[in-house]
Each structure stands twice: as structure tokens, then as C-alpha cells.
Structure 1
């Protein structure tokens, strides 16, 4: 089997009773790749991860890892590591013993066990904390223990369920760096589940955006962020001005509104167009809007406009003149800046 399909999910269908949670899902993960399963609650990302780990029976389809069909293999026989959102550390055991726990179950002992545990603890920078109990550690340190405990088992795939959600903003940034470092140094294939787009964009080699138990789009962070292919993905990554496109006009609740195009250019063939708030030009353009709300966001100022197109969200540099509520002003939606969508929900 090639590295292109080190882990393959083939027509995977997963259900809870009679309720199908994931249907006919196909996904190939390369050896050493760091993949994010991204999407809102209920989209099927955690369900998919549980099936890879063997914690959820497969209704139909296959889970193939490193050339072996693991679909019916017991969880403890899969060489798959799992780091839970809650860390699931043993509170009465030290860092050392938490990391050693799985190795002891495998029968490892003596100098071999000690060397393995010490190396695992050192890899996450916790050598000085080896004798401490989980309650004596910060959230970030506990997360590192959970990571080390999984890594010493030398998994072929490491799964992480919302790994940073229990940490504060500063610790999340630190742990992003830590996860990247461990993954790069060990080369382990890593899949993490998250609903946080910033986390997925900063960590992943590729992002799998999921919706209603299916894959909506797969791509690099740059692809997902700059080139969403559907209105769902566009909205999820911050394109807040999304319109259906028909015959060179934007379809709105109030009817069709023609777009202006540069001389010699043709209307896009896309099903829809989407603009981030910062892509909207204020103070000039063919459209008119009334300021209904404004908020200061440090380096920028955000506006909500009422217009013939419907609500428009705009963002400009905070140094620009302020438009007060009730102001009437022109604006533009530059077509050359828009994301071209092939699917509109």
C-alpha cells in the first residue's frame, strides 16, 4: 500500500441505532500527515474518529490501516492512540505511572520500561514533573501527559478529540506549537477533531470539513480559507456576505441585483459568490447602504449595513473615518476578490 492511502476509510457508514450519523464516507490519509476533521457539533467528525479507534461498530464500509483491514479489529489491537478531550488521566497515579500504564499492560518492565517512559516524558518537556499527580499540574501539562501516554505506545495513528478545548487562549497557543513539534519529530500520523477553524488552520496539513455526516470539502488550510467551494464552508471560515449568482446578478430576498464587471470581463460561471467583511469597499461603489451597527475591534472597525442586497457586513481599518449609525454611504463588492462557490446550500 502506498503512503497516499496509509489510512483509508472506504464507503464508511456509521449509525447509532437506526439513525445514520455518517454515510458512505471516503477518506485517504498519507503516512505522517496531520489531518483536521473540522465542523460544527453533530457533523459526524467525532463519530468518524471513534470508528477509526474501533470504539464504534461500522455499519458498512472499511477502515484500512497500513494495508490491513481493521474494520472488525478490537480497539486494543489496532495500534491507534487516542487522546481524549478530558485527558482521562488516573488521578491517583504520578505522571510517570500514567505514562507507564499502557506499557505495563503490554508486559514491558524493568530498564526497558523505564527508558521508554523517561523518553516519553522528556519528549513533552515534563521530566521535572514525573513524580507529580495530575491535580498538581496545569491543564496544559495534563494534556502533555495524555499525549506522552499515547505516544509511548508507538501508535500508527494518533487520534485527538478536541485536544485544546479545555485550555485557555494562551495555553491553546502553546499546545498548538507542542502538538506540531511532537508530530514533526516523531512522524506519527495524526488526526484531530475540532470545531475551531483557527486551530485547524494553524495545525493541519489538510483539513476535512464535514457537514451532516459527509465531507463537504478537503484541502490545505490555504484552500479552505481562501477558496471555499460551498456556501457552508464559506460561512464556516468567515465569508459572511454570501449570494447566489444567476446571469451576472446576485439573487437576494428582494430580487436580482446586477453586478458591475470590469470592461471586457465576463460574469463568473459560479453558483454563488462570497465576500469576507474586509473585502467590502466602503465609501465608493455602485451600491448604497445605511449603517445599522458599528463595533470597534482594536485594529479594525466592523459595520452592519442595510441595503437592497440585504444585510452587509464590512470591516475596515480602525484608522479610517468613522461612519456613525444612520449614515448612508456607498459600497462595493469587488468581484475579483470574491470566492467563487460551486454549491449553494
Structure 2
């Protein structure tokens, strides 16, 4: 991945009628980067993707790609590839013809077209499937056809909309690896839209977390996972215990509670369930839920700070519902949050 800015969104505002879906968004994307737009439904991530591709008109702001202002350029002249969630393949055509479709529209034919398509199929590992019809392929194979069809057009940016959502769990794991391989080998700048934080963490060089049409946080997967900036991001990436901080005290529904150690300067603290020690500590809670998860057991405690979720080794003795337990919320194990909702 290059450090050079390749695609820039400047004060981008997008709207449906009078309702702004994205407002004054600034984002710089590097050449050769694999970037994830992550967030819940309605946060503006797909709208942003559609505007980059030229499928969504821009109310105000600017989109610059490789030094060229493409804000008002038509979609077919932006040199941007799209892989849709549905793959949008032609069922009556062979794999070869699906991949060749865009090239034929550009006037390519003969040996040049064959060479290009075969190279594209080789890139995604489908050289032996050229003669098959797409309905005869698995979901993962269909996705690779869609990927090859976009790649042979040599786009400056390749965009994928929820690329793994139609696949089962095993295929999702396989396709994560495949997408990373293809992206790194081709060097194409890739942006994918997802609501799945595990998918974004596993694939992306950087993650843009979006909320209500704005960017909540940008960072590497490690930064997003370990250093969430707000309670929204913390909750989205699996911090299930989030507490406000006020005047050196933890704040819960029942009021303020003294912390078990010195607190950092922060608006709030967030703990993952596995960071909560059970069986010892200054706090008391009552077991209201127990879930067996194979290697671990998860507990939900009713406490003065609200529900607290803890995860412990399944080999440890189990606690029954209604058991009163000591527990701790060690400040040193928490992620400090800059902003609380």
C-alpha cells in the first residue's frame, strides 16, 4: 500500500430528497489500499460507495480520483469496478462470457480478449470453469466470477458491496483469504462495504466506522479493535461492558460506584467480557444468564452498574442462575473512551 492519497472525498454531502444521508464527509484513500466502510444499516456507507461509483448524485462537495475531479463524470467513464452483493451475473452465459462481457462492450475481441479473460480467471482460480454456466457454480465461485469480471477491466478502484454476506460461514472464511490474495497480487485499490466487524477486521488495511452519515472513527484494524474512540465504536466491535466516568467514579443506572483503581482521563471505559474477573473483586452481582460457548462460558450479572457480561474458561466450575458473585472491573484492562452517547 502506498502512502500517496489516491481517492479523496472533500466535504461530500449526499441526500435523498431533502434528507441528508451523508454530510460534509472528508476521506482520503491511499493507492493500493484495502479499505472497509463499516457500520450498521442506514449509516451512509452504501450511499458513499454509490456516490464514488457515480450511481448517486452529489449535492455538494468533490470526489477526486488519481488527480482528476470525477464528481460530475458519468459512471461508465470513472474507471471504477463494482461487485454487487447479488453478483449480477448472466445465468445464460458461460463463466468465460460473463468475464468477457465488459471487454466486448469496449470493442475487444479475438486473441486479445481471450488472453485477458484467461488471465482474469487464473487470478481468481477459475481457469478450469470457463465453459460452465454460472448457475452451476457455488456461491464462492460465483463471487470470484464477479471479481474477475471487474478486474479484467483494470479499474482504478474496485468497490464491493457486502461481498461475503450471501456465503455460509466456511465460504466466508475462504473468500476473505481469496479477496486479500487477489487485492495484494493485483495491487488494485479496493473499498468494501460491510456491517460485519469481524469481516472488516480480518480484511482491511484501514477501517472507516460510519454512523448517521458521518465518520465516527478511522484506524487500522488493531486501532479500531483495541482503542475505540467512542461508546458507539466500542459497542460495535465487541466491548459489551461500557460505563461512563464522572469525577473519578463509574456511573451506572443505580448511581455512582467507586472504581477499584485509578481511572484514566476519559468520558467512559469499556471492557470485553473476557477482561472481567469472576469470583473475586470489590463488586457483587447476581447471575441472571449463563451460556456455554464451547471453550468458554459466558455469564450475565445483574449489578448496580447495570448488566455486566463476563467470559471465563469452560473448564472452570459453573455458577448456577441466582448465584451471587464477586467480580472486578479493573481500570487497567479497560479501553478509555473519548466520547459517550
Q: Which residue of 2 aligns with 1:218?
A: 218
The answer to whether the 8 A contact 2:271-2:334 is kept is: yes
Decide whether the 8 Å contact of 1:24 with 1:61 is kept in 2.
yes
- 1:275 matched to 2:271? The reply is yes
In structure 1, how many angstroms separate the alpha carbons of the residues matched to 2:88 and 2:304?
A: 53
Q: CA deviation at 1:260?
A: 2.0
1:320 aligns with 2:316: yes
Structure 2 length-normalised TM:
0.99
Q: Is the 8 A contact 1:99 1:145 kept in 2?
A: yes
Q: Secondary structure at the residue paired with 1:222? A: helix
CA contact (8 A) 2:35 2:207 kept: yes
User: What is the rounded CA distance, in whole Å, between the counterparts of 2:306 and 2:85 in structure 1?
Assistant: 40
The Cα RMSD (Å) is: 0.8
Cα distance in 2 for partners of 1:140, 1:329 equals: 47
3-state DSSP of counterpart to 2:72: coil
Deviations 1:278-309 (A, max 9, x none): 11010010000010110100010000101111
* Equivalent pairs, count: 340
1:58-73 alignment to 2 at 5 Å?
58-73=58-73
SS of equivalent residue, structure 1 residue 6: strand
Whole-angstrom CA distance in 2 between matches of 1:94 and 1:302 = 49
Whole-Å separation in 2 of the counterparts to 1:215 and 1:190: 19
Inter-partner Cα distance in structure 2 for 1:290 and 1:188: 53
Residue 267 of structure 1: how far off its partner (Å): 2.8
Where 1:200 maps in the other structure, the secondary structure is helix
Provide the secondary structure at the position in 2 that maps to 1:322: coil
Q: Distance in 2 between matches of 1:270 and 1:217?
A: 16
Deviation at 1:320, TM superposition (A): 1.1
Q: Contact 2:260–2:328 at 8 Å: present in 1 too? A: no
Q: Which runs of 5+ in 1 are unaligned?
A: none
Shift >6 Å, 4+ stretches: none
What is aligned with 2:93? 93
How far off is 1:3 after superposition?
Answer: 4.8
The answer as to whether partners of 1:271 and 1:343 remain within 8 angstroms in 2 is yes
